[in-house]
Amino acid sequence: MLRDAVRSLAEAKIAPHAAAVDEDARFPQEALDALLANDLHAVHVPEEYGGAGADALATVIVIEEVARVCASSSLIPAVNKLGSLPVILSGSEALKKKYMTRLAKGDGMFSYCLSEPDAGSDAAGMKTKAVRDGDHYVLSGVKRWITNAGESEYYTVMAVTDPAKRSKGISAFVVEKSDEGVSFGAPEKKLGIKGSPTREVYLDNVRIPADRMIGEEGTGFATAMRTLDHTRITIAAQALGIAQGALDYAKGYVKERKQFGKPIADFQGIQFMLADMAMKIEAARQLTYAAAAKSERGDADLTFQGAAAKCFASDVAMEVTTDAVQLLGGYGYTRDYPVERMMRDAKITQIYEGTNQVQRIVMARNLP
């Protein structure tokens, strides 16, 4: 029922704008409006804070179905979870009540600020600082590759509170867009997900109350890594949706396109490509849904399973979208058809929330 409801909404309210959102590289406001109106913008927020209280699997299905028609739009529910999960996992009750209630109501989106110009895969090498000053902390630094930066009202920011302790000297904070000293760089000009703004976040002596720290001082990096164990599965869901959208479109196309007097779907070479695409998507779906169940239960092997789902599903998405372009031939290479957009959008799923090379390191270190 959830899948049917989200698919109907996505096809009616989000899909018609997907090409224009990509072409104009503009934020998909229509998608945000539709998701807000149907309480699908942040379904993971617990009911006690006014949220829908969706479990990890339901959240995955929402993201998958939105990504099937528009990858950029799927980053609204996905990044709302990424940005706010540190608060849910480690925040004080007061912090949860304040920010989760606002997120559930739709008062603002949440973004996640971990990466920096010189701290990508080596996130513990970050330089953004947070210095205690009485009842406040003063944050200074630059965060890079921040999804929905400038659009979001709330930012989970990782910053160094004790430089001598490396990863154990990093703390997490909630920063608001309206805090004095917060500003944003120009939107990055990207290959794909053009409707989701990616910008630098500048923190110029941003003074925030000490009670906006998420968890204890020095626990920020551990919270960041725990968060990714859960949210990598949402990237797997996004990749899965993109792949499914590409297969669905290609499947319809090959039945209509005729060569040598018959639909190209009748040729075995085409049938084998479609069979492989569908098989790999189904394998990715099973892995992703199983990982979501483990996320919900907090299973001991979640780190491995989350990395495996993200890595496998994103590799499948890149392969399937590339094959979809091939199946459409010359038309697939043009912007008149959606599969080239899907191919461009799929690429980022192999890169963000940890490159697939990093996922393989994570899996190797956590072999079940």
Q: Is 188 a catalytic residue?
A: no
What are the CA-CA distances from residue 143 to residues 64, 299, 315, 350 (Å)? Answer: 28, 31, 27, 21
Q: Which of 65, 116, 200, 353 is catalytic?
A: 353
Tokens 């091939």, residue located: 326
Q: Which residues contact 301 (CB under 8 A, 6 or more apart)?
A: 294, 366, 368
Name the CA dihedral angle for 244, 250, 253, 255, rounded to a multiple of 10 degrees: -90
Find the largest Cα–Cα distance for the chain.
80
Residues 181/161, Cβ–Cβ less than 8 Å: no
Planar angle of CA 321, 354, 15, nearest 5 degrees: 40
Distance CA 246, CA 310 (A): 18
Token couple for 101: 């209630």
Burial of 78 (0-12, 13-18, 19+ CB in 10 A): buried
Cα 259 to the chain's mean position, in Å?
Answer: 40
**What is the torsion angle, in degrees rounded to the nearest 10, for the CA atoms of residue 59, residue 90, residue 353 and residue 312?**
-50
Q: How many of the other CB atoms lie within 10 Å of CB of 13?
A: 18
Which positions are annotated as active-site residues? 353
